[in-house]
Amino acid sequence: MYSEILVPTDGSPASDAAIEHAIDLAEQYGARLHALYVVDGAAYSSLEAGAEIVVEALESEGKEATGRVAEAAADADVECVSTVVSGTAYRSIQAYVD
Q: So what's the pLDDT on residue 79?
A: 98
Q: So what's the pLDDT on residue 75?
A: 98
- What's the CATH code, domain 4-97? 3.40.50.620
Q: What string of pLDDT tens digits covers the 98 residues of the chain?
A: 899 999 999 999 999 999 999 999 999 999 999 999 999 977 777 776 777 888 899 999 999 999 999 999 999 999 999 999 999 999 999 999 98
Boundaries of every domain in the chain: 4-97
pTM score over 0.85: yes
Residues pairing with 6 in the sheet: 34
CA count, 13 A, side-chain hemisphere, 38: 16
The sheet with strand 4-8 has its strands ordered as: 4-8, 32-39, 80-86
Q: So what's the pLDDT on residue 28?
A: 97
Residues pairing with 39 in the sheet: 86
Question: What is the total residue count of the chain?
Answer: 98
